[in-house]
């Protein structure tokens, strides 16, 4: 499928697809149409890969980290590296969750203080 259909099916813009191609995350075949600028030809496997790229980004992984994992997978050594990366990312997200809970608790205290007329000293930030 050409880039327009691929982007539509993936739910992204063609510029996003082109960016992933430039970054080496997606490696489509060059189609026969298009002359000196051959069309990019994507497959169902590319759709699955794009979904994995988006999942990695949703987990907070950088494109560089995702690119490394894709390269490892393409070389046949991806399972152990992927497992290690996911375990590390889980720990990062757990640490962020602790920070977010602290910020939410502060916001709850601040909102309650403001809602009650802001009398007395403002709540301290932990």
Give the structural domain span for 121.
Answer: 77-126
Residue 51, pLDDT > 90, answer yes
- CATH number, domain at 1? 1.10.1660.10
For residues 4 and 31, membership in a common domain is answered with yes
Average pLDDT on 32-49 reads 81
- Supply 60's token pair: 């907070």
How much of the chain, in percent, has pLDDT values that exceed 90? Answer: 59
For residues 6 and 56, membership in a common domain is answered with yes
For residues 46 and 84, membership in a common domain is answered with no
Domain edge (last residue) among 15, 35, 61: 61
Please state the domain count of the chain. Answer: 2
30, part of any domain: yes
């Amino acid at each position: 499928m050409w880039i327009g259909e691929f982007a539509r099916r993936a739910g992204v813009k063609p510029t996003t697809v082109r960016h992933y191609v430039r970054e080496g995350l997606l490696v489509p075949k060059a189609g026969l149409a298009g002359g000196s600028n051959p069309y990019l030809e994507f497959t169902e496997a590319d759709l699955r890969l794009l979904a994995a790229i988006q999942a990695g980004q949703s987990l907070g992984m950088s494109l560089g980290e995702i690119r490394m994992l894709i390269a490892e997978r393409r070389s046949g050594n991806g399972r152990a590296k992927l497992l290690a990366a996911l375990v590390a990312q889980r720990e990062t997200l757990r640490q962020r969750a602790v920070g977010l809970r602290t910020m939410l608790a502060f916001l709850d205290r601040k909102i309650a203080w403001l809602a009650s007329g802001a009398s007395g000293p403002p709540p301290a930030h932990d």
